[in-house]
A = this chain, B = another copy of it.
Amino acid sequence: MAPFYAVVAGVGAGTGRSVALKFAKTYPVALLARKPESYESIVAEIQEAGGQAVGISTDLTDPQSVEAAFAVIQKTEGFVGAGLAAAVYNVSGGFGGRKPFLETSLEDLDGSLSANPRGLYIFAKSTLPLLLKAVPTSPNPPTLIVTGATASTRGSARFAPFAAGKFAKRGLVQSLAREFHPQGVHVAHAIIDAVIDIPRTRHYNVNDGAPDGKLSPDAIADEYWHLHQQHRSGFTQEIDLRPYVEKF
């Protein structure tokens, strides 16, 4: 019997994978991503380690798709009847990359808004009722954690669509924290101010190639778990996270 589970939206080779593995040490974990190849190997990894996991192909920008995913979760062995203890929104959408504003397109902006405030909004609408329901029984305060970026608090040149999306997401999280903290749900935002150390970035020359100069996704996962462990007497609403050698 597993009375509580966690859900991670937006998994792949980096943060999402590490977070899923970390939370899977305690909870069955549902992994949501657009394509099976994003979650299949992680589900296998969790199961091999003796944990429970299910991956569900989900369009996180589509309310019906997200609703359908939760319907599937609630019928999955190991999740049936379980409460939602933790929900992590880790989606990062395409925004067209760094380029001069006049070379960006409305599609770049829409991509950023879709993956950031819009996707989070949809995810929050599905998860907050479940998290609220778990308040009286969950061992740790039920938690909604959202991954942000440097651009969450700083609109850099040539990053206009990206900054719009990340700022929006942060505003949304703050508002949810102020509304749901008093109801017992912990809502936190993490400003990931770094290049994350994943296969795709392995060859990037970051911080002059200093050892540990990229942010380990396992370190992010440790933080998310720690946020989830916080007692309601002391909630952290926002953390920043960066390698020791990162300029900020």
Contact = CB atoms under 8 A, between A and B. Distances in A.
Interface of A: 63, 100-102, 106, 109-110, 113, 117-118, 121-122, 124-125, 128-129, 141, 151, 154-161, 163-182, 184, 186, 194, 197, 212, 214-216, 219-220, 222-223, 226, 230-246, 248
Contacts of A243: 232-235
A160 B179 contact: yes
A121 B102 contact: no
Stoichiometry, copies per complex: 4
A153 to B, nearest CB: 9
Pick the most buried of A151, A186, A219, A233: most chain B CB atoms within 10 A of its CB.
A233
Contact of A168 (B168, B178, B184, B244): B168
Given A117-B164, A124-B101, A233 B248 contact: no
Given A166-B171, A174-B154, A182 B102 contact: no
Nearest to A121: B109
Given A163-B171, A237-B242, 17 more contacts: A102-B129, A106-B125, A110-B118, A141-B244, A155-B172, A160-B175, A160-B179, A164-B175, A165-B168, A215-B234, A216-B234, A219-B233, A219-B234, A222-B231, A232-B244, A233-B244, A234-B243
